[in-house]
C-alpha cells in the first residue's frame, strides 16, 4: 500500500500540478482513506519528498539508459529522453518540487553524479568526467529542459545541447 500511495501521489502531481495536489486527491487516486496516507507517509511534505526520490531515481535511470551506447546515438537517445520528460509534464513536476521550500531531493544528489560522470565519459568515449564537470553537465541538461518547457524553439535548444557535448570533449 505504501508504494501504491507514492505512485498515486505521482500521478496526481503529473495530472493536477503541485498547486492543486492534495492528500485528499492522493487518497482518492490510491483508493484508500486519507488517514492511511498519513499513516504510511506522515506529512504532505514527507510524501512529496518520497515522490521526489522515486521521480529522481526514474529520471536518473532514463538518463543512464540513454547513455548506454556511444557517440551520436547516445546523445540522440539522451535528447529524446529529455524531450519526453518535458512533453509528459514530468520535468514541470520536477521543477515545481525543486522550487518548493522544505522538499528535499529535487536536485541531483551527490551520489548520482559519479554514475552520470561515468556514463557520459563512456558515451563520448572520453575519460570519466570530473565531479564539477558532471555537476555542470547535469545543470545544463536541466537548463535545456527548462528552455523547452518555457517554449523555446526546439532547434536552437538542440544546437545548444550539442555545443554542451562539444565543450566536454578534450
Q: Where are the domains of the chain?
A: 1-42, 56-168
The cell numbers describing 111, all together, are 551520489
Contact of 96 with 146, CB cutoff 8 Å: no
1-42 carries CATH number 1.10.10.60? yes
Q: Measured between alpha carbons, how far is 107 from 105 in angstroms, rounded to an integer?
A: 6
Q: What is the C-alpha separation between 81 and 161, in angstroms, rounded?
A: 13
How many Cβ atoms sit within 10 Å of the Cβ of residue 145?
21
Give me the tens of pLDDT residue by residue for the chain, a chain 170 residues long: 899 999 999 999 999 999 999 999 999 999 999 999 999 999 999 999 899 888 988 999 999 999 999 999 999 999 999 999 999 999 999 888 888 887 865 555 556 788 989 999 999 999 888 888 888 898 999 999 999 999 999 999 999 999 999 988 87
Amino acid at each position: 500500500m505504501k508504494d501504491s500511495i507514492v505512485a498515486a501521489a505521482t500521478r496526481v502531481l503529473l495530472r493536477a500540478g503541485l498547486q492543486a495536489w492534495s492528500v485528499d486527491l492522493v487518497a482518492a487516486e490510491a483508493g484508500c482513506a486519507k488517514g492511511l496516507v498519513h499513516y504510511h507517509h506522515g506529512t504532505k511534505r514527507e510524501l512529496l519528498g518520497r515522490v521526489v526520490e522515486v521521480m529522481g531515481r526514474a529520471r536518473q535511470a532514463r538518463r543512464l539508459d540513454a547513455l548506454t551506447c556511444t557517440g551520436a546515438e547516445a546523445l540522440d537517445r539522451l535528447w529524446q529522453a529529455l524531450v519526453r520528460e518535458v512533453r509528459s509534464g514530468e520535468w514541470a513536476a520536477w521543477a515545481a518540487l525543486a522550487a518548493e521550500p522544505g522538499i528535499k531531493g529535487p536536485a541531483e544528489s551527490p551520489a548520482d553524479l559519479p554514475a552520470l560522470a561515468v556514463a557520459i565519459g563512456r558515451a563520448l568515449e572520453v575519460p570519466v568526467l570530473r565531479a564539477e564537470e558532471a555537476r555542470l553537465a547535469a545543470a545544463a541538461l536541466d537548463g535545456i529542459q527548462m528552455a523547452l518547457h518555457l517554449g523555446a524553439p526546439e532547434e536552437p535548444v538542440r544546437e545548444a545541447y550539442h555545443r554542451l557535448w562539444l565543450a566536454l570533449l578534450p
